[in-house]
């Protein structure tokens, strides 16, 4: 079973709904996979790391997982399930023959169009960029970080899918693993790559972070990839510029973005 569905809105406010959808349903799926001996691969999230002040190590110890401080309900629900799965496994409780939680970092790429505000910034700004308008990126509301220094570990969806497929082919691998490139890049870098793919000069404007995200916004994410590499995953991850060019030229800048 590959379970990637969730309420992923970082601004969600209905705690009961988020916990029911992201935690309790996941627990029921874990129990079902255990009872029927079905491998379970599920999506966790880099949102579990909160503001990143504690680092981005995918340490599987219950103590490390319990010490995370997510900034929103989405991250809290994912962290809660990760901890429940690890504690059950550490205590020798019944588990599926394989179980793997993937802490996806900033995944972007084709077929994310249904995600509304949770689709990638690139997908959101592309129509205005195509029309020749400037793209709007957040200013920093922290004095120690400039607007152009807000960075993420952007990982192309093809690479994220390859990790899932690798786990299917390696049923002996269980645990919680980061999925990112291991290299943080700025939103400016992504936008400049988009403009280059369009053959145009970059146009970037700064806007204030909306009030609902103030104090709950990640300024830096960068996956530690040692554990996944140690488990045997040796494929490379696509460089940001290559991934953006592929996304723009093969999908976003075509009449049918699904091809």
What was the pLDDT predicted at 212?
Answer: 80
Q: Distance between CA atoms of 42 and 5, rounded to whole angstroms?
A: 9
Number of separate domains in the chain = 1
The CATH number of the domain where 35 resides is what?
3.40.50.720
pLDDT digits (tens, 9 = 90+) for 85-107: 999 999 999 999 999 999 999 99
Indicate whether 6 belongs to any domain: yes
257: helix, coil or strand? coil
225: helix, coil or strand? coil
Tokens of 39: 């491998």
Tokens of 128: 């205005």
Indicate whether 258 belongs to any domain: no
Catalytic pick among 42, 49, 74, 217: 74
Q: Is 203 one of the catalytic residues?
A: no
Q: What is the pTM of this model?
A: 0.94
Tokens of 60: 């599987």
Indicate whether 257 belongs to any domain: no
Q: Is 247 one of the catalytic residues?
A: no
Task: Over range 19-33, report the average pLDDT.
Answer: 98
Residue 100's DSSP bridge partners are 41, 175
What was the pLDDT predicted at 215?
Answer: 75
Indicate whether 35 belongs to any domain: yes
Indicate whether 259 belongs to any domain: no
pLDDT digits (tens, 9 = 90+) for 71-87: 999 999 999 999 999 99
> Is residue 2 left, alpha or beta, with left meaning phi > 0 and alpha meaning psi from -120 to 50?
beta
Q: Is the pLDDT of residue 210 over 70?
A: yes
Indicate whether 118 belongs to any domain: yes
Q: What residue numbers bound the domain in which 185 lies?
A: 2-252
Query: CB 251: neighbour CB atoms within 10 A?
Result: 19
């Amino acid at each position: 079973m590959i379970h990637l569905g969730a309420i992923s809105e970082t601004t969600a406010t209905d705690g009961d709904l988020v916990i029911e959808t992201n935690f309790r349903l996941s627990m029921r799926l874990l129990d079902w996979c255990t009872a029927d001996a079905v491998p379970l691969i599920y999506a966790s999230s880099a949102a579990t790391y909160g503001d990143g002040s504690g680092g981005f190590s995918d340490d599987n110890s219950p103590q490390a997982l319990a010490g995370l401080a997510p900034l929103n309900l989405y991250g809290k629900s994912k962290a809660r399930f990760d901890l429940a799965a690890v504690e059950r496994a550490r205590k020798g409780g019944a588990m599926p023959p394989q179980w793997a939680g993937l802490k996806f970092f900033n995944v972007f790429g084709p077929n994310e169009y249904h995600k509304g505000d949770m689709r990638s910034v690139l997908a959101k700004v592309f129509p205005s960029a195509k029309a020749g308008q400037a793209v709007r990126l957040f200013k920093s509301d922290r004095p120690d970080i400039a607007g152009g220094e807000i960075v993420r570990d952007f990982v192309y969806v093809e690479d994220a899918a390859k990790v899932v497929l690798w786990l299917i082919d390696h049923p002996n691998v269980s645990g919680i693993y980061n999925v990112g490139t291991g290299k943080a890049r700025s939103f400016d870098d992504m936008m400049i790559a988009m403009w280059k793919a369009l053959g145009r000069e970059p146009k970037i404007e700064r806007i204030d972070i909306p009030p609902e995200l103030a104090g709950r916004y990640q300024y830096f994410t960068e996956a530690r990839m040692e554990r996944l590499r140690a488990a045997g995953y040796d494929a490379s991850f696509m460089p940001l510029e290559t991934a953006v060019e592929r996304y723009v030229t093969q999908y976003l800048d075509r009449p049918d973005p699904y091809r």
